[in-house]
Structure 1
Amino acid sequence: MRTVRFILYALCASALVGIGALVFMLKSHPTVEFPQPLQQKSANGLRTLFLGTSSMAWTDGQTTWLVDGFFSRQPLSKVALTRLNVDNSQVRAVAAAMFKRLNMPSVLGGIVVAHSHYDHSMDAPFLAKEYGAKVVGSESTSQIAKGQDLPSTQIEVLQGGGQVKFGEFEVRLIQSAHAPTGFTGGFNTKPVFLPAHALQFKEGISYSFVVSHPGLGPGPFALIQPSAGFVEGQNKGFSVKHVFLGMGGLGKLSYAYIENYWREMVLVPGATHVYLIHWDDFTQPLMKQGEPLALKPMPKLLDDFPRSLELLKMFSERDGVSLHVLNSWEMVYF
């Protein structure tokens, strides 16, 4: 009997140690040295504000539109153990700070959604209702919007890709791919009602966004790749100066994959400036008590941002491309 008790105690102790180690690893973030913030301003007013993950607010001083707009950023305990809902007060607070930094009225011309995972799509319908926007994306994303009772007049499905205009901005959606992680695939075929578990938000279709504006001449000037995936040849036939490059999960992938990703997303379109996005731990908030917070990388258990950053630095130096890690609330001018 004593032997059985000893074994049970030992098993319990081992389990507690294992759980403690797992919690520690999930709360341990690698350190990142950020470069000096970008300071240059443009005469034409074209700019974008980075807001963590692949959320970005774009404006030309006349029209403001969003990529994703994921501001709730629930803590890991909620993501893992509960069903998720939009954090209305947090989303409103981040949006208010966003419009203030952009020096723009609280109106959105549109929201393009990269794919239908919760960290891209969940807050978009709420933002659309609050600020008069249209949600643009896949059929899977439309099911999330329907689950939040967004009117059909504010939903536009571009399943295989297409173009949409927000004021003088033209945004082309190109069918792309998610990073090859364990969370890819699946479609939302029915409305996703909140609250919902994170895994109920199926990927649907992943897009790249190609941005044009007459203020910067004919042709596109920027490519946004929210996820660290690609379809070979997807960027042939156009060139851009700026690439916003998603990093989520990249550090756990092979050297060959990372180099091919760099080639397809940076070298093929001929970019000279690369800004890293979606590298951060999106279970950490953007604001606390009304004050903006800096971003933290994903825990090393889930990603290896220092490794992927080191490789991209090597590629950028080799190819003569400038590389910048965007922190939250950082503005890029064109």
Structure 2
Amino acid sequence: MPSLDRRRFLRDAAATTALVSAGGLAATSSAPAQAAPPAAAPAPTTRRRGAVSFRWWGTAGWRIDIADRTVLVDPYLSRIDTGLFTGPFNPATALTVRTDVIDARVERAATVLVTHTHWDHFMDVPHIAGRTGARVFGTLTAYHLGLAYGVPSTQLSAVRGGEVLDFGDHTVEVVSSLHSRNAAYSVAFPGVRVTQPARPATIGDLPEGDTLSYLLRVDAGPSVYFTGASDVAERNLTGLAPDVAMVAMQSATTTGDYLPRLLAGLDYPKVVVPVHWDNFETRLQNPPVVAPADRPRLDDMIAAVRRISPRSRVLVPEYETAYHF
């Protein structure tokens, strides 16, 4: 496939200059000045690589700042206690949006990308949409749940996979994906919403509703793949070849060859960032809390990525730290 070969050639050619930095936006020197073209043909502007930052908000949540535009992925900041990590888990836990926690971190957003509609991915999205006017992209279930919360239909865009959305200085490709299975080979809160339901009241009112992944390509910057759950339809990954992959940690062994299939399908990204490994019912403060049962799973994941894709760098993120790829 010529297009794939070309993309990988360009990607690998840049490998020696790729940089992952943490701890805030790094200063970037400008290119040497050049003679200005005639006034009738103004010089095109080129964004600096340092103008793009990625901040992890725990679980599968991210804030991406691209120049003066903010993109959010699965923003979940309320981090309410459902008993999931301390037991017993309560599916009737009331949906309690912590607006003070959210508003302190979300002053703007142009776009929200939702992988699926479980509470730890979608619960805070309607408030964020109302606060910022952001357009929300997600499944048909996300669309109907958004309506149930009172989000105007003009801010909701249903997608299913295959769409390439152009935002000028970046594009977002929607990828049809799968949700992870638990030890009983089942999915928590299965189901979809094909019509507008009553306003959700408990976490059980937010079903999985089908699952998506997203590939963000930034002009003069990185291509980054975002997952929200630990399963994959690898046939849908052909040709994506991202520089960076945000990969959800597998919580059960019922999905066969998850990491080998995912990493091969993504053409072995240069950087792999484990996500969805933290205890997301604790405060958003560093160091992230890892449940005792999840610590060995995270260690096993890191070791597996290094074994399967030895040329990949594994970056274990901290909360709200600015990373530049």
Q: What is the distance in 2 between the residues matched to 1:311 and 1:154?
A: 37
Other-structure match for 2:4: none
* 1:189 partner letter: V
The answer to whether 1:55 aligns with 2:70 is no
Q: What is the distance in 2 between the residues matched to 1:240 and 1:77?
A: 36
**Which of 296, 308, 311 matches 2:289?**
296
Q: Which runs of 5+ in 2 are unaligned?
A: 1-19, 29-47
The answer to whether 1:309 aligns with 2:299 is yes
- The 3 A distance-change label for structure 1 pair 314 and 139 is closer
Count matched residues.
Answer: 273
- The 3 A distance-change label for structure 1 pair 285 and 268 is same
Aligned counterparts, 1:70-219, within 5 A: 70-77=76-83, 80=90, 81-95=92-106, 106-181=107-182, 182=186, 183=188, 185-194=190-199, 196-216=201-221
TM-superposed deviation, 1:133? 0.3
Higher helix share: 1
1:107 is paired with a residue whose SS is coil
- The 3 A distance-change label for structure 1 pair 87 and 192 is farther
Provide the alpha-carbon RMSD of the alignment.
Answer: 2.5
- The 3 A distance-change label for structure 1 pair 191 and 282 is farther
Any idea what the Cα deviations from partners look like across 1:108-130, whole Å, max 9, x if unmatched?
11101010111111111110110
Other-structure match for 1:328: 319
Structure 1 length-normalised TM: 0.74
2:297 is paired with a residue whose SS is helix
Other-structure match for 2:283: 285
Q: What is the distance in 1 between the residues matched to 2:162 and 2:198?
A: 25
Other-structure match for 1:98: none
TM-superposed deviation, 1:65? 0.9
Asked if the contact 2:160/2:212 (under 8 Å) is kept, the reply is no
1:94 is paired with a residue whose SS is coil
Q: What is the distance in 2 between the residues matched to 1:184 and 1:163?
A: 29
The answer to whether 1:242 aligns with 2:244 is yes
TM-superposed deviation, 1:222? 1.4
Q: Which runs of 5+ in 1 are unaligned?
A: 1-35, 96-105, 287-291
Structure 2 length-normalised TM: 0.76
Question: Among the aligned pairs, what percent are the same residue?
Answer: 22
TM-superposed deviation, 1:208? 1.1
